[in-house]
Every structure is written in C-alpha cells, then in structure tokens.
Structure 1
Amino acid sequence: MTTRRGWTRLIAVAATVAVAACTPAPRAEVPRPSAPQPQPPAVEAAQAQPRTVACKGSTASLRPDGTELTKLPRGGVIDQIRQRGLRVGVSQTAGRLSSRNLRTGAVEGLEADLAIEIARAIYPDRDPAKVPDLIQYVAMPTRDRFLALNTAENGKYPPATNVAKVDLIIADASVTCERVDTFGVRFSAPYLQTRQGLLTYRGTLGDWDPRTGITGRTVCAGAGTINLDRITKLGGIAVPVVDTTDCLVQLQRHQVDAVSTDDVILEGFRDQDPNTEIFPGVVDTVDVAAVAIANRDEDLVRLVNAVLERMRGQGMTRLYDKWFSGRAMVMPPADYEGR
C-alpha cells in the first residue's frame, strides 16, 4: 500500500520527467567551415590574361566629333538598336549602381540612370518619359560579363555562345589592357572613379584587425576581376565567386573573413547588412570604370562618349549626389586617342 508521502514523491518524479521532456535540448554552436566552399561556374569563362607584353589594343577611347547627338550615324549598330531596343548588361544586384527594385521591378541606380541618358540620345525622336521602356536590362554575372559583347575575340571562344549578347556593359567595369586584348572590349571615357576596399563584420577587431593587413585571411572577390590578384599579392587567400554579390552571402555564412571589391559596391553591401564595416585603406588601389562596348561598334562608342561629355559637370554631379549623397565624387578625365 502506497503511503501519502509515497504518492507525493511519485507525482514529483512524474512532473520532473514531463518538464524534462518538454525542455528543448541546448543547441550546439554552429560550426564554422574550415575552408570556403567554392561556387561552381555557370560556364567555363575565359579569364583576362595578365599583361606580359605591351597592350595590343588601346585603353584610350574614341573622341566624339560633336555630331552624335544631332545626327545619328545610319546603317550601323545604332540603326539596329533603334529597331530592336537597347540591350544593356548590368549587375541588377549592385545597390546604388544597378539593382532591381523588388516592388516595382525597375532597375535603379547610377548606372541604370546613365543607361537611360544614353538611350535618350539613341532615340531623340521618342518621348523621353517612355525611353526607359526601350531598354532591356540583362543580368551579367561578374565573371562572364565581357563575353556578352559580340566581338571577334569572343567568337573564337565557344562558351561565349552561352552568354546573352548586349550592346553595352555598364557594370562597374574597370578599364584594363587585359580586357581590351582578351575580349575585344572598347571602353568609353570613364564615368566613375573607384577605390578597392575591404568589407567585414563589425566587432572583428577583437579577433583580427583588418587595418593591419589580410595576410592569411580568406577574402572573396568576383572571378575575372583584377581584385583577386591584388588580394594574393597582399598575402590574402583569394576566394573567387561567379558574381561579386555572392561574396556578401559567403561573408554572412562565415565562409570567408572579408570581401574586397570597389568601394562603391561595398557601400551597397553595407546598405544590405548594416552589421558590416568598410575598411578603405587595406587594399588601396584606384581604378576608373567605363562603359564596355564591342570594338567593332565605333559609332556607338562615339555616341556614348558624346553623352558622357554632355553630362560632364552638372549631369554626373547630379547622379553622384542622388546615389552617393555626402561623398565627394568627381568624374575622371577622358583619355581619347589622338588630339
């Protein structure tokens, strides 16, 4: 026969078991990957080869002759664009430069606005308010973007057929000799000056001070960019990804220690994740970005340069202030062939 004290003890034990069964087990700490997980490529892309000899092509652009915005060339690429629409390769995920507004579906940013100005010059007879509808924005992964130009150089490389072709690439494309020779790129006059920086999480200083360097640290950058070589030269472990935006995901997953790319792109990353911090002086190299065009489309190169010269001063300052308010930005000088 169970006594009253015995019943009390049994009830207490049962209650303890019930509470234990309902209490979740403590969560183990999420393990940090021992090494970055590489992203498989979408296509086997050509890489711009480091220059060991003099540049075969020219990084200088073609001077506008002053007629492009009043009398368009006929019978060439500009006629084709007027018939089918303007195809522009952009990032679509680079905040402040070119990113798709998820509410409206529109591509927004400094580079999207620049594309509209160029389109208005191609369609001077159309309603300016309706010209943006004549632009087809094509998402360009960082690594494969130059393959989207219809050039003889890309024609010799079969995987280029897997990449949608565009008329212009406006995607923070730094002007380099290697891109001219490898992909047949003709650059416009530059519209943006950038500085390669470093992005990592706030509070990193307790474990690692990014200001002292990146030696031995895993640093993510877009494949096919000049950033990777600079990371390696500074002692970092370069981690390439197909698209630079993937680097932010790698950082958030703790698969890399930092991201290194142009500061204008890093500002967009910081907007997306305010827990990050930019260190501008670690990988401190200045570049200029320009519109990339196929070298066979000289009329289009001259038209783009005419637009840029018209915007030099107030036009570009307005775009800088609109998308990078509070930051001092000046349009780089043009480098044209000949006088």
Structure 2
Amino acid sequence: MNTRIALPALVCALALALAGCGAGSAERALGRPAAPAAGAPRAPAEGAPGPDTSCPNVLASLRPTGSLPAPTALPAGSTMDTLRRRGFLIAGIDQSSFPFGFVDPRTNTLRGFDIDLLREVAKAIFGDAGPNRIQFRVVRNEDRTLAIARGDVDIVAETMTINCERRQSVEFSSVYFRAGQRLLVQRDGTADRADYSGGLAALPRGMRVCSVPGSTSIGMLRRQAPQVNVIEGDTWAGCLVLLQQGQADAVTTDDTILAGLQAQDHVFTVVVGDKLTFEPYGMAIAKNRGDFVRFVNAVLEQLRRNGRWGELYREYLGTSLGADTPAPPEAEYRDAA
C-alpha cells in the first residue's frame, strides 16, 4: 500500500497556525509556482525551442549510400560485415525509461521504442532479430558517449539528444524522434494548477526539481534555473519515486520520458507547461564507423517509408503526446564525414 502525504494541506495548516494561509502562501512555502491571477498576461518561456546552434548543421548525419543491402550482401570488410561475422550487436540502452526502454513485467523482456529500433538494425545485419542477436547493456546517461568511445558498445539508443558537445565525441544517426523538455508534478490541486509559462527561469527559489546526471535536461535546468534545488536521481524512475515520496516537487526531462513516468502513476502525477526545449533523438555510433552510421540511416529511412515507425509510435506512445500519430522526423544529411 502506498502512503501519500497531503503536503499542501500540511504546509497550509502550519501557515495558519503562524500567520494565516492566504492565496498563494502554500505554493511559496512548497517552493512551487503560484497560480496566475485572473486575466494576467502569460510571460513567454526563456528561449524558443530549437536545435543546438553552437555548431553548424548539428542534425546533419551521414547520407546512406544507396539502398539497404541484404544481410547476405554486406560490403566485405565493413563494420556491418564484422558484426555479422561476430554474430551479435552490442547495444547501450536504458531499462527504466518507459516507453523507450523498459522491462515488461509480464514477460520479463526488454521492450520500448528504442529497443525495437535496435532490433530493426539487428534484423538488417543478421536477417533476424532473435534474442541472441543483441547484447543489451544498461548504460548510465553520463556514460553514453564514453561507452561508445571505449568500444564497450557498438551503438547507443537511449533517448539521446543530438547536440554539438556530444557530436565532438560520437557520430549520430539521423533524427528518429523529436521531444521537448517539460515538468512532471503531483496532481494535488496546487502544483498542477500553477503557472509554468515563464519556463525554468521563472520557477520559484528553493523548488526541488529532480533530473538525471548526464542528461541535457539537468544541464538546461542548472543553466536556466540556478534558483532551484537540483536533486539528482539515479534513473528517471528514481526521480518519480522521489516525487511520490515528497522529496522532490517536480521532475524535468523530455516529455516522452515524462509521459512514461506519468503512465505509471496517472492518478497522482501530471505533465505540465509548454515545451521548453527541442530534443532531437539520434543513435550514437563511434566516429570511426561512418559506414555503420550510413547503414543505420538507411534502416531508419526504410522504417519511415514502410510505416514501421508509425507502428512503433502507436504501440509505445499511443495518444500520450497527442491524439494523432505524427509523421516521422525528416532526415538531414551531409555527404562528407
């Protein structure tokens, strides 16, 4: 049985005993935004969402070289040929980011949008995506680029945002999903009704916001909201637990991950606010494996065209981010490495 503490009521009772509990006092005591006054203008969030512009063409990946070859016709000596001869792909993943990477408790198997994309890559190399074709390795957010650079894994698919800093260490596939940073709060009649239109910079001083080290979300939180108390969770599921226990006032990360957390506790939590950032996901691959990047991009092109991307979206995202299934993100390419 889960025990939930009515934090707003407790704070308001304490405030009444001391100085009265007027409108908005509980929100300030909890370190939460106050609800907007009737008719008050909405302040724009700081910075319009968009791709990282600190380097040119950050989203442009290596162009596929022709159509996808059959598994039995992979170029001799290529990365794909080497992987095929080895017999399996080593993939870095997260197993606690529903619905992108998670353990299905009914079958005790890995499932998710990212997991199934990796299976499509394996199928293109080996001709099948059987359980022996991929070795999944759980990689912490802050270790993803390091795992690629050290050769611990061949590829990472882990809701990983393409940005200029990461592009210095790894190569990325074309964008396979577009997300945006938002907030998850308790559905308690206070936090869920507050005004978040000012973005991270307008969050109240002392608000306890959980995020995971190594994510772009925690970096954005620290840059734009130095007034909040940043709480580091081991995983996104760990942040949800801290929110449920009253040790955090909010969780911030991509709306896709928040939708998965909210689905696990839809009665007591809710995703709030507009998108604060633009988070384009790509699969990370070593910089010296340009042929593998082009091959993975050919796989993604096939999934966009044959409807498989839409099938995966409907299976794992459903209507959690909107009533309609969006079109797959269009790829941006460059020819030279």
TM-score by length of 1: 0.73
Counterpart for residue 284 of structure 1:
276
Counterpart for residue 330 of structure 1:
327
SS of the equivalent of 2:334 reads coil
What displacement does 1:258 show? 0.4
What displacement does 1:206 show? 6.6
SS of the equivalent of 1:74 reads coil
What code does the residue aligned with 2:158 have? A
C-alpha separation in 2, matches of 1:206 and 1:320: 30
Counterpart for residue 319 of structure 1:
312
C-alpha separation in 1, matches of 2:292 and 2:211: 31
Asked if 1:258 is matched to 2:250, the reply is: yes
Q: Cα gap change, 1:58/1:296 in structure 2, threshold over 3 Å: closer, same or farther? A: farther
SS of the equivalent of 2:231 reads strand
Q: Is the 8 A contact 1:73 1:299 kept in 2?
A: no
What code does the residue aligned with 2:179 have? T
What displacement does 1:79 show? 2.9
Q: Cα gap change, 1:60/1:206 in structure 2, threshold over 3 Å: closer, same or farther? A: closer
Counterpart for residue 140 of structure 1:
139
What displacement does 1:94 show? 1.1
C-alpha separation in 2, matches of 1:109 and 1:256: 27
What displacement does 1:293 show? 0.7
SS of the equivalent of 1:284 reads coil
What code does the residue aligned with 1:197 have? R
Counterpart for residue 171 of structure 1:
158
**What pairs up with 1:162-311 in 2 under 5 angstroms?**
165-181=152-168, 184-205=169-190, 209=194, 211=196, 213-216=202-205, 217-232=207-222, 233-234=224-225, 235-274=227-266, 275-281=268-274, 284-311=276-303
- Greater Rg, structure 1 or structure 2? 1
C-alpha separation in 2, matches of 1:187 and 1:323: 23
Q: Cα gap change, 1:210/1:80 in structure 2, threshold over 3 Å: closer, same or farther? A: farther
What displacement does 1:332 show? 1.6
C-alpha separation in 2, matches of 1:54 and 1:140: 27
Counterpart for residue 43 of structure 1:
none
Q: Cα gap change, 1:134/1:239 in structure 2, threshold over 3 Å: closer, same or farther? A: same
C-alpha separation in 2, matches of 1:286 and 1:114: 21
C-alpha separation in 1, matches of 2:142 and 2:83: 25
Q: Is the 8 A contact 1:196 1:280 kept in 2?
A: no
SS of the equivalent of 2:179 reads strand
C-alpha separation in 1, matches of 2:162 and 2:105: 31
C-alpha separation in 2, matches of 1:206 and 1:337: 45
Q: Is the 8 A contact 1:200 1:258 kept in 2?
A: yes
Counterpart for residue 42 of structure 1:
none
Structure 1 moving runs of 4+ over 6 Å = 28-32
What code does the residue aligned with 1:315 have? R
Of 289-298 and 98-107, deviating more is: 98-107
C-alpha separation in 1, matches of 2:252 and 2:54: 28
Q: Cα gap change, 1:141/1:99 in structure 2, threshold over 3 Å: closer, same or farther? A: same
Q: Is the 8 A contact 2:96 2:236 kept in 1?
A: no
What code does the residue aligned with 1:96 have? P
| CA RMSD across the alignment | 3.0
What code does the residue aligned with 1:142 have? N
C-alpha separation in 2, matches of 1:96 and 1:324: 7
Counterpart for residue 6 of structure 1:
none
Q: Is the 8 A contact 1:143 1:242 kept in 2?
A: no
Question: Structure 2: which 5+ runs fail to align?
Answer: 12-28, 31-52
Provide, for residues 263-321 of structure 1, a one-character-per-residue CA deviation record: whole Å limited to 9, x for no partner: 1101110121221110141x521211011111111121111100001111412111111
| Number of matched pairs | 276
Counterpart for residue 69 of structure 2:
69
Q: Is the 8 A contact 1:142 1:224 kept in 2?
A: yes
What displacement does 1:67 show? 4.4
Provide, for residues 51-72 of structure 1, a one-character-per-residue CA deviation record: whole Å limited to 9, x for no partner: xx96499652110012442331
SS of the equivalent of 1:245 reads helix
C-alpha separation in 2, matches of 1:207 and 1:193: 25
Counterpart for residue 15 of structure 2:
none
TM-score by length of 2: 0.73
C-alpha separation in 2, matches of 1:91 and 1:123: 23
Q: Cα gap change, 1:294/1:242 in structure 2, threshold over 3 Å: closer, same or farther? A: farther
Q: Cα gap change, 1:244/1:73 in structure 2, threshold over 3 Å: closer, same or farther? A: farther
C-alpha separation in 1, matches of 2:209 and 2:283: 27
SS of the equivalent of 1:107 reads strand
Provide, for residues 38-94 of structure 1, a one-character-per-residue CA deviation record: whole Å limited to 9, x for no partner: xxxxxxxxxxxxxxx964996521100124423312224323322141111111111
Q: Is the 8 A contact 1:59 1:177 kept in 2?
A: no
SS of the equivalent of 1:332 reads coil
SS of the equivalent of 1:103 reads coil
What code does the residue aligned with 2:156 have? I
The percent identity for this pair of structures is 31
What displacement does 1:194 show? 0.2
